[in-house]
Amino acid sequence: MPNDRRPENMVRITTPELADAFIEEQLQALRDQIGDKKVLLALSGGVDSSVVAAMLIKAIGDRLVCVHVNHGLLRKGEPEQVIEVFRNQMKANLIYVDATDRFLDKLAGVTDPETKRKIIGGEFIEVFAEEARKLDGIEFLAQGTIWPDILESEAGIKAHHNAGGLPEDMKFELVEPVRILFKDEVRIVGERLGLPANMVYRQPFPGPGLGVRCPGAITRDRLEAVRESDAILREEFAKNGLEGKVWQYFTVVPDFKSTGIKNGKRTFDWPCIIRAINTTDVMEVTVEHLSDELIDHLVKRITTEVPGINRVLFDYTPKPPATVEYE
Ligand code: XMP
């Protein structure tokens, strides 16, 4: 595979010029590797797969086939943005699969966190493999593997199984155009490829998505409350200059109700928990303390705009002892 390992003396890509030079070199390497064949990519809308898509669209146009699986656990506006950016603006060959019902039906009544994660991961591979089987003449599978993935897998910290999971009979040659890059380099390269800043600089988002922020058995109404409150939180962080400054921020809607009052009537609704954290390595995290003004505003908006929420709580727990996500 070309550019298998990051050269010891490789200069860190910190400027547009260095990013442009990397892109030129990679485009040539991709064209040499792929020739006139077709490539398949699972496009989640996350930073790495988006940058890989943008690079391959430049290199081979519509011989890249992108599959975006909406598992119903994405944040508000995410599938729409993937379609807008890749299909409408970049003219990508994009297959959009709305598998929401399939995932939520499988998850119905499942309370155990690890079982939930397994169902989401397993179903994702199944949907992706089904789409892949419908296509003819695909020889390559593109992946957003980045250099820290390789280093961590070599150090035994985490299994590097980006490729893993596809059924045995599905054999593809791998295409990994950002394999030798660190995350900050991937972002600059993405910007130079024309991706929107909010896509390239977005906060980390777990694979199981909002599913881990809807603790216990996922129901559509509570999931919607997570999605809507998350959208409000992101909007307010952006307005208040916190986007890109705070490492990660999100809402969780736990599965219990408490008494409240709205328009003179008793309510019995869920609380919404706000978590905002900072970290460098995600092993240890500290809590971002928000201004009283912002807290008051968030409480007001979330309790008035999100159906099913009558209380807002703040999670002031660092990691350890708490993890970032709730499941
Ligand atoms: P925890 O909860 O382990 O989270 O303290 C640390 C960081 O990892 C993210 N996270 C995930 N990312 N797939 C991912 O791609 C996952 O299953 C997953 N679980 C947690 C989490 O959002 C945080 O940034």
Pair 37, 179 in one domain: yes
Residue 206 lies in a domain: no
Determine the atom of ligand 1 nearest the C-alpha atom of 322: 5
Q: What is the residue-averaged pLDDT of the chain?
A: 95
User: Measured from the CB, is residue 204 less than 6 Å from ligand 1?
Assistant: yes
325 lines ligand 1 (CB under 6 A): yes
Burial of 209 (0-12, 13-18, 19+ CB in 10 A): buried
- At position 2, the amino acid (one-letter code) is P
Q: What is the pLDDT of residues 183-234, one digit of tens each?
A: 999 999 999 999 999 999 999 999 999 999 999 999 999 999 999 999 999 9
Percent of the chain scored above 70 by pLDDT? 97
Q: What is the pLDDT of residue 326?
A: 98
Res. 19: pLDDT tops 90: yes
Residue 281, pLDDT score = 86
Which CATH number is 180's domain given?
3.40.50.620
- Where in the sequence is the domain holding 128, given as residue range(s)? 16-200
In this structure, which residue's CA is closest to atom 20 in ligand 1? 206
d(CA 298, CA 295): 5
pLDDT given for residue 152 in this prediction:
86
> Alpha helices, DSSP H only, in the chain?
16-34, 47-60, 78-82, 100-107, 113-133, 147-154, 183-192, 197-200, 220-239, 292-305
> Pairing state of beta strands 93-98 and 138-142?
unpaired
Q: Report the predicted TM-score, pTM, of the whole model to 2 decimal places.
A: 0.94
Nearest of 75, 312, 292, 69 to residue 203 by alpha carbon? 75
With a 6 Å cutoff on the Cβ, whether 121 touches ligand 1 is: no
For atom 11 of ligand 1, which residue has the closest CA?
206
Q: Give the total number of structural domains in the chain.
A: 2
What local confidence, expressed as pLDDT, does residue 159 receive? 67
Rounded-to-integer distance, Cα 197 and Cα 85, Å: 12
For residue 208, the CA-to-ligand 1 centroid distance in Å is 9
Is the same domain home to 38 and 140?
Answer: yes
